[in-house]
Amino acid sequence: MGAFASYTLIGLFTGAAYSIAASGLVLTYSTTRIFNVAHGALGMVFAFVYWDFSQRQGLPTWLSLVLVLLVVAPVGGVLLQRIFVSGLDDAPVSVSLVVTVGLLVGLIGVATQVWPPAARSVPEFFAGHVVSFGDVVVTWHQLITIAASGVVAGGLHLLLTRTRAGTAMRASVDNPGLLELYGGRPHLAGALAWAIGTSLAALAGILLTPVIGLQYYDLTLLVISAYAAAMLGRLTSLPLTFAGGMALGLAQSYAVGYLPGGGDLAGLRAVVPTLFLFAVIVLMPQSPLRVGQVRGIVAARVPRMRSAGGWGLGLVILVIALSFLLQPGSMLLVGTAATYGIVMLSLVLLTGYGGHVSLAQFSFAGVGALAYAKLDDPNLLGLFLAALTASLVGALVAIPVLRLTGLYLALATLAFAELMDKLVFQSSFAFGLNGTLAASRMSVLGRRIEGTGSYTVLMAVFFVLVALVVLVVRRGRLGRVLIAARDSETACSTLGLDLRWLRVGMFAGSAGIAGLAGALYAGLRQTVGASDFGFFTSLLLLLMAVVWGVTSVTGAALGGVFLAYLPVVQADHQALAGLALVVLGFGAVALGRDPNGLANRLFVLGRWASRTLEREWTRRFPGTMLPPGQGHGPDMGAEEVTADVVAGS
């Protein structure tokens, strides 16, 4: 009985912290309609700020707490609302997700750059003071956390239902124009919501830090628990959110106490919040979607197949030349870039054309790599089977969430990625007891490709082939249906299109492409492990695809190159490792509203240069024509952006 009471107390403590974080998340969403994926990263950053004030600079604990919760965190929340997320309330859900994921990665970069990795600790409030209830010993820190969660839940309920400011905050999302007519200020209401929500994230981070430690990723990813509690409250109900946080804390504590801690089930205790999140998303009804939201804001004009084939042939020739010039170690990087590029092509199909955000693409790549590594003598048939396995897994993930869209679908893929990372990839039946598997390079038509340079050329060929298939899909009837569904699902439904099974097929296809990339990667590296397919890589992959252009094959190629060389830059310049994440994260924030990314800027620059050259040639040599291939033809292999804006549901 004493052990059960102890686990119950620990569960109430962690559940209280989850409830505080989830309450801030619900407040932000219910008043601004922006789901802040970076909520946990905000708590992590301000926990570091609290440590800096209280431990590094030696300020009193109470003063450090006041400065963080009442000054630094609210100001930071207002700045985020005004600078980074302003206008996202009317943007497609995919855009707001990408922007807030960019904030998450950027804030991790800020923390690692400002506070380099080192051993740090934050003492509990009133350390050493305890209260005994029989055999159970309770610290004051735990009591303060539980009491604070109740105060936060009650205070927010009163704020939103009993005060003029709370009424204005709720009205600012329902009808900001009408609120302005009655003298309200929607921007001020939104800033207040972000200030309070950020302070609550900081409070949750500070309360959890003495228990789990001051770590970049642990604090950031603990927000998955807050997601689960917030989803139980359907992102609107604070009482249900509070109850969900408490229930989750108790479930996690009991899992630690009573589930087996060894063998393949060891990871089950760590994924209780993720299982809770996935179950809530699948079983609970969705909250009402926004009406009149602008869904499709970009339509990309694809190149002709002849032009695309020419560019693809040029890419393969370039890789062949590099195979003679570079050392095997450098060619491994080129092959890794091809891997990332192929996975990004799966995002072009799913996100660029279909409008659905997946946070688990590298998990599908891990499935393909695992299936390939299990083959005794890999060949083209084995490569196809590995891709097919990943495709089937993608379909199995999509079927339970057939009715989900937008935010719910993205969070479901996040939960799946976490489950694969902690529960499958790290088990002995996947990558073995030592966490790695050996893989052989495949044979093509009976001839094994042993050299790193030759294998990299093969990967470049597969990148071009997959890119051409993606372009064929985009140019055909299926591509037009995907674009129409991305722009307005309601309009497509009125025409009799069954978008649910189309979504399953799209997930299966994109997962198959990612699985193909993972299988090729396993053959390239000749050894793969669970650490190669952590779900945080999927976040970086999505951001790099958005930065370079998630609607174009060119963006996938450039994004793959830069993502492959990101770890090299961080390793060669360790003092600037965090800065690289800052650039990537906030670059995605800046470009998140334009899915065509930097690739589109390059296309525009190329067209401008071509027109300038044509005008200069005409001026210097009137009556003559430019040499073939030098003018501004109708098809230069560039995706031209049009401003097709469709009002969706």
HSE (side-chain half, CA atoms, 13 Å) at 48: 24
pLDDT at 76: 92
pLDDT at 289: 43
pLDDT digits (tens, 9 = 90+) for 398-428: 887 766 777 788 888 888 888 888 888 887 7
Terminal CA-CA length for the chain: 53
C-beta neighbour count of 472 within 10 angstroms: 14
In order of their start, the domains of the chain are 2-283 (1.10.3470), 310-598 (no CATH)
Q: How far is CA 72 from CA 202, 363, 510, in A?
A: 10, 37, 42
pLDDT at 464: 94
Tokens of 493: 């439904």
How much is the pTM? 0.84
More confident residue, 536 or 260: 536
pLDDT band (50, 70, 90) for residue 74: very high
pLDDT digits (tens, 9 = 90+) for 422-449: 888 887 777 777 778 888 888 888 788 8
DSSP one-letter string for 468-525: HHHHHHHHSHHHHHHHHHHH-HHHHHHTT--HHHHHHHHHHHHHHHHHHHHHHHHHHH
Mean pLDDT of 144-162: 86
d(CA 326, CA 343): 24
CA dihedral sign, ordered 437, 441, 443, 444: positive
pLDDT at 420: 87
pLDDT digits (tens, 9 = 90+) for 32-54: 778 888 888 899 999 999 999 99
pLDDT digits (tens, 9 = 90+) for 267-299: 676 778 888 888 888 776 655 444 334 344 455
d(CA 428, CA 235): 38
| 211 pLDDT higher than 70 | yes
> Which of 6-10, 20-24, 317-321, 541-545 holds the top average pLDDT?
317-321
Residue 8, Cβ density class (10 Å: 0-12 exposed, 13-18 middle, ≥19 buried): middle
pLDDT band (50, 70, 90) for residue 610: confident
Mean pLDDT of 560-582: 84
With CA atoms as reference, report the closest residue to 18 among 239, 181, 243: 243
* Mean pLDDT of the chain, nearest integer: 81
pLDDT band (50, 70, 90) for residue 181: low
Q: What are phi and psi of 194, to 5 degrees?
A: -70, -35
More confident residue, 184 or 382: 382
- Label each residue of 272-286 as H, E or C: HHHHHHHHHHHHCCC
Q: Which residues contact 456 (CB under 8 A, 6 or more apart)?
A: 319, 322, 323, 331, 332, 334, 335, 338, 524
Mean pLDDT of 221-245: 79
pLDDT band (50, 70, 90) for residue 635: very low
pLDDT band (50, 70, 90) for residue 644: very low
Mean pLDDT of 620-625: 66
Weakest-pLDDT range from 125-134, 201-210, 283-292, 468-477: 283-292
pLDDT at 175: 58
pLDDT digits (tens, 9 = 90+) for 511-565: 999 999 999 999 999 888 888 888 788 888 888 888 888 888 888 899 999 999 8
Weakest-pLDDT range from 166-175, 506-515, 538-547: 166-175
With CA atoms as reference, report the closest residue to 462 among 335, 332, 347: 335
pLDDT at 180: 62
| 583 pLDDT higher than 90 | no
Give 241-245 contacts, CB < 8 A, sequence gap 24+: 241/19, 241/22, 241/23, 241/26, 241/153, 242/19, 242/22, 242/23, 242/149, 242/150, 242/153, 244/19, 244/22, 244/280, 245/15, 245/16, 245/17, 245/18, 245/19, 245/20, 245/21, 245/22, 245/149
Q: Which helix (H) or strand (E) holds 376?
A: none
pLDDT digits (tens, 9 = 90+) for 12-32: 888 888 888 888 888 888 777
Weakest-pLDDT range from 106-110, 200-204, 569-573: 569-573
pLDDT at 318: 94
DSSP one-letter string for 401-415: GTT--HHHHHHHHHH
Instruction: Using the CB atoms, write b or e for 546-562: b if 16+ within 10 Å.
Output: bbbbbbbbbbbbbbbbb
pLDDT at 552: 86
pLDDT at 513: 95
Mean pLDDT of 489-514: 80
Q: Which residues contact 247 (CB under 8 A, 6 or more apart)?
A: 15, 232
pLDDT at 648: 32
pLDDT band (50, 70, 90) for residue 645: very low
pLDDT band (50, 70, 90) for residue 634: very low
d(CA 505, CA 509): 6
